[in-house]
Structure 1
C-alpha cells in the first residue's frame, strides 16, 4: 500500500496545478486557466465546509466567492491568479510554520532509543523504557543522556545547548544533576537514574511540544473575531462599488483584494515562531495561549527557596577556636557527614570536595535525626550538630544571622568550631529582575513559606516591591488572586507547595531543572535550565512575538483596505488586485518570521 496523501501534499499539488494552468493560459491555451482554478476551488470549498462544521467563521469564503465570480464574469485570468495566490499563500504558511517549529521539533530527533545499563553480567543494551530509578547507566562520548540522573563518575562534560541554549559545555562534579536530552561532550561517564525515562525532562519536553503545536492562542481566536468585522467591511465596500458603478468587475476586484486576509496568516506564524524561540533559550511554553499571556504580564510573583535562591545549603564560613586548623576541621567534619543524608551534610561534603580535600571513611556512627551525628574518623572522635547534641560554644554564639544555619563541631570531645551554611541568592537574580522590569513588569512580589526575617533579608537585597512570608499553599493562592486586578500575574516557583499558586496565576512558570513534577504539571511554562534569567528572555520573546503579530495584522488590514477602496473606485482591475494581495500576504508572513531572529 502507498503512503496516505496528506493535506499538505494536496495543497502542494494544487499549487503546482494552479501554476501550470496560469503558465499555459498565458502561453495561449485559454482553457488552462479554468483547469488550474478548479482543484484549488474544490479544496477551498472543502476547507470551508470543515470549518463550518466546527463553528468557525473565516475569510476563505472571500477567496471562494472571488474565484466563482471570476468564472461567472469570464475573468478567467483573474481567477487563475487568485487560485495561484490562494494555493501559494497556503504553501507559504506551511513553510513558515515548519520553519518556526524547527527549534522544537529538532529536540524530537534527538530522543535516544536505547541505553547501556550496568547489570549483574556487565553492560547490557536496554530500551530506554526499561530504565528505572537507581539504575546505573553508561553514557558514552557523544551520546544523548537518556534519563534524568546524578553523576556517578569523577567528572563529566555536558553540552545542554539543545535544551537550554547555553553555548558552552559545562564541567560537572560527582553528584551533580544531569538532564535527559543533554549530550556527553567529554569522556564516558556513569549516570545514576533518578526517574524513569518516561518521566524524565526530555520525555516531558516531547509531550509539551505536542501540546504547544496543537494549541491556539487567544490572539489567534481574537483574529478570528476580527475576521468577521473585516468580512463585513469587505461586503460594505463591495456593495458601495456596485451602487456607485453597477459594474460587477469592480465588485470582483474588491473581493480579490480582500483574499485572503493577513489575519489568518500572521498571527499563527508569529505565535509558533515565538514558541520556537522560547524553546531555543531553555523555556518550554506549553501553549500559544501561554505565550500570548507571557507577553502581557504586569505582576511577577516569585517563590524564594529554589527559585530566587539556589535551593541548597552552601558552606559560607568556617569559624574555629584557637589552635584548630580550618582545613583539618572541614576535612574531618565532611568525612563524618558522608554517612548522613541531611541537606546540610550534602552541602558540607560538596564544599570539602570543591576544596580538594581527601575524605576518609567514618566508623562507629551514631546519628540522631534532626539533632546531629557522631563517629570516628582516622582515630579521632568527631561530632556535628546543634547545642543539644554537641554542646553549646559560648565563644562562637554570635554567628547566627537571618538565613544562616550553624553546625557545631567537636573534636575528641572538645569544642572545635562552627560551620555556617546559607541558601545564597542566585547570582543571576538581580539582573533578571532588572530585565523583567525593563520588559514591562510593574510590580515584583516575593511570596514564600519561609520565615519572615529570612524572606525580608532576601527581598531587601533584591529590591522587590513586597515580601509575603510564612504563607501556606492556600495563602499563596489568595495572594495571587489579590494581585490580579493590577494586571496579568505570573507566578514562578519550583516546589509542591507552589503548584496551587502556579495554577491560580494567569500564567504559572515552573523551575523544571530541579523542581517537582507537581509544579511542572500545574505550570503553563517550564524553565528547563536551572537559571531564572531565562524567564526574562522568554518574556522579551513573547512580547516581541505579540508585537510583531499585531504589527503584521494592522499593516495587512490597512493595506488591504486601501486596495479595496482603490478597486471600488475603479483604479484596480481584478488581476491587479490579485497581484497586490499576493504581495501583501507574502510581506506579512515574512514580517511574522522576524520573531525567529534573536
Structure 2
C-alpha cells in the first residue's frame, strides 16, 4: 500500500506535463483530455480505496478527495481536477515517505533476522559445518558464528571469545566482549573473530524471535489517538459537506462548493497522528525500548503512578555476601573457607553467591566429600576431614546445634538481609553469613529522573520481608512500600493505585505477569526476563536496567504532544482555507495549492517526533548482564 501511494504521484505529474505542453502548442482540447485522464487515473485508485474502507465500515476522509475530483470533472474543470489529483497523490506520497522513514528502525529489526545457521556436525570424517534452516536448530547444537553474522539463537560462547554489537537489542553503541561459557543473546552482531555458539533455545523461543513478534504486533496495532482521529474525521467530513453545500446555495455557484472540498483534501487528521506516533515508536526502538503499538505509546505519555517490583528491577536479582559474623573460636576466613568449599557441591543461588564471594577474597577452596543436600534446608559434608553444615535454623536444630539466640533472631546487621546462612563445624556454631540483593548503582538516579518526567507517586511492591524492603529503599524517592506480597497481592496493589491515576507497573518475573496485565501500562525489564512478563507487558526494555524508562516517557510525551499540535494547527488552517473558499476568495486550483502547503507543514511537524537529544545515538545502558 505504501508503494502504491508513493507511485501514485507520477500519474497526475505526467498528465499535467502533457496538458501544459498541448496547451502551449495551441491544442486546448488535447490539454483538457490529458488533465482529465490524469484525474481519472487517480480517481480510479481512490475509488477502490474508498470502496474497501466502506466495506470495512470505515467512513474515511478520502471520501472528500473523491467528491472533489469527481466534482472537478463534472463541472468541466479538468485543470483543477488534475491539480487536485496531484495534491492528493502528493499528500499520500509524503505520508508514505514519512511513515517509511519513521518505521525504518523497526523494519531493520525484522529484516536482519537470520534465516539459516552453520551447524557443526561430527561424523566419520570429523567435524564438518553444514548450513541449515533456523527451524532445524535444537538446544545443544554447536553453531559456527562468523565475523559479520547475526547470532541465530540464544546460547553460550562454547569456544573462543565473542565480541558482539548489541546496538539492535539494547541501543548500546559500544561492542561488548564475552568469554567462553558466557550467555549471549540472539540478534547480536559478531564484530570480532569467528566463535562457536552452544544453542540453549530453539530459534522460535529465542530473544530475537520474540522481539520480532513484538515489533510486528506493534506495527499492526492502531492507537486510540488514531481511532479518535477517525471519529473527529467524521465530524470534519460533515462540516466540510455542510460548508460546501451552504456556499453553493448562497452563491449559486457550484465552483464555490468544489473549492471548499479541495481545501479539505487531504485532511491533517489522517496524516499527522499516524506519522507522529510511528515516529515515536521508531525512536523508542532505536533506544532499546519496544513499545507494543501506538496505544501503549499514548498510555506511556499519560502515566502518573509507578508501581515497581524490587528483585531484578531495582536490584540485580542476585544475592551477594553482605557480612560474615564469625563465632569463637573460629575466624572469619576459616569459617568462610569451609562453608564455601562445601557449597561448591550445591547449585542453589545462595551457594553460588557464597562461592563467588570466597573466590573474590582470594581463598583457595578445597574439594568437599560425602555431601548431602537437604532441599530447602542446606548442605552437610566433609571438608578437609571436618564435618561442615551450612543452611538454615531447621538444619541446625535437626543436628542439635544451638546458635546464640540473639544472633539468629535479632542481630541488627541481619534484619535487612535477604537471606541468612548458619555455618557449623564439627557440631559447633562457626559463623552467621548474611546475604543481600543490593540496589543497582543507578537506582536512585533513575527514580529521580522518573520524578522529573512527571511520575507523581512511586510504590515498591515486593514479595520480600518489609524490613528488607524498607532498608533497601531508605533515602530513595519512594512514597509507599508494600511487602510480603504474592502475585495476587501485587495485582491488588496495582488495582488500588489505579484509583489515584494512570498506573505503570514494572517487573521482570513470571510472578509479575498478573500485575503487569492489571496496570494501565505494563513494562517488562530485560531481554532475558520471563516470557510471561514480556507477553503481559505493553513495553519491553531490552536491557536489564530501568535506565531507558525516563527516556521512554519523554519520547512518548513528545510524540503525543506533536500529534495534538499537528492536528489542531492543521485543522485550524484547513477550516480557515475552507471559509475563504466558501466566500469566493480561493479558486479550486488555489485551494489545492493552499491545502498542500498545509499538509507538508503538518507532516514535517509530526516527524519532529523522530528527533531529539541523542535520538540517533545508542542509549547509555550497557550490555545486558550475562
Q: Answer yes or no: same fold by TM over 0.5.
A: yes
Match of 1:112 among 111, 114, 118: 114
Match of 1:89 among 91, 105, 112: 91
Work out the CA distance in 2 between the residues paired with 1:141 and 1:375: 47
Residue 499 of structure 2 aligns to a residue in which SS? helix
When residues 475 and 272 of structure 1 are mapped into structure 2, their CA distance, relative to the original with a 3 A threshold, is: same
When residues 438 and 555 of structure 1 are mapped into structure 2, their CA distance, relative to the original with a 3 A threshold, is: same
Residue 498 (str. 1) matches residue 512 (str. 2): yes
What residue number does 1:373 align with? 379
User: How big is each residue's C-alpha offset from its partner over 1:238-296, in whole Å with a ceiling of 9 and x where there is no partner?
Assistant: 23423442222222111111101011011111111111122111121122211111111
What residue number does 1:530 align with? 544
Match of 1:421 among 431, 435, 441: 435
Match of 2:316 among 310, 319, 341: 310
When residues 322 and 174 of structure 1 are mapped into structure 2, their CA distance, relative to the original with a 3 A threshold, is: farther
What residue number does 1:551 align with? 565
Q: Which TM-score applies when normalising by structure 1?
A: 0.91
Gaps of 5+ in 1: 1-6
CA contact (8 A) 2:162 2:178 kept: yes
When residues 63 and 298 of structure 1 are mapped into structure 2, their CA distance, relative to the original with a 3 A threshold, is: same
Shift of residue 309, structure 1, vs aligned partner:
1.6
CA contact (8 A) 2:448 2:477 kept: no
Structure 1 residues 389-398 or 244-253, which shifts more? 389-398
What residue number does 1:208 align with? 214
What residue number does 1:76 align with? 78
Gaps of 5+ in 2: 24-29, 616-626
5 Å matches for 1:16-55? 16-27=10-21, 28=23, 29-30=30-31, 31-55=33-57
User: How big is each residue's C-alpha offset from its partner over 1:298-345, in whole Å with a ceiling of 9 and x where there is no partner?
Assistant: 221111212222111122334556897866765664444332110112
Work out the CA distance in 2 between the residues paired with 1:326 and 1:140: 48
Work out the CA distance in 2 between the residues paired with 1:546 and 1:129: 40
Work out the CA distance in 2 between the residues paired with 1:318 and 1:131: 46
What residue number does 2:460 align with? 446
Structure 1 residues 373-382 or 26-35, which shifts more? 373-382
Work out the CA distance in 1 between the residues paired with 2:366 and 2:158: 18
Match of 2:9 among 2, 11, 15: 15
When residues 188 and 368 of structure 1 are mapped into structure 2, their CA distance, relative to the original with a 3 A threshold, is: farther
Structure 1 residues 66-75 or 253-262, which shifts more? 66-75
Residue 462 of structure 1 aligns to a residue in which SS? coil
CA contact (8 A) 1:502 1:509 kept: yes
CA contact (8 A) 2:504 2:522 kept: yes
5 Å matches for 1:423-502? 423-502=437-516
Work out the CA distance in 2 between the residues paired with 1:227 and 1:410: 76
When residues 21 and 116 of structure 1 are mapped into structure 2, their CA distance, relative to the original with a 3 A threshold, is: closer
User: How big is each residue's C-alpha offset from its partner over 1:161-207, in whole Å with a ceiling of 9 and x where there is no partner?
Assistant: 11110122234466654221122344555544433221111001111
What residue number does 1:4 align with? none
Residue 485 of structure 1 aligns to a residue in which SS? coil
Structure 1 residues 154-163 or 384-393, which shifts more? 384-393
* Cα RMSD, aligned residues only: 2.8
Residue 576 (str. 1) matches residue 590 (str. 2): yes
CA contact (8 A) 2:526 2:545 kept: no
Work out the CA distance in 2 between the residues paired with 1:452 and 1:526: 28
Match of 2:553 among 531, 539, 559: 539
What residue number does 1:61 align with? 63
Match of 1:403 among 417, 423, 433: 417
CA contact (8 A) 1:431 1:533 kept: no
Residue 25 of structure 1 aligns to a residue in which SS? helix
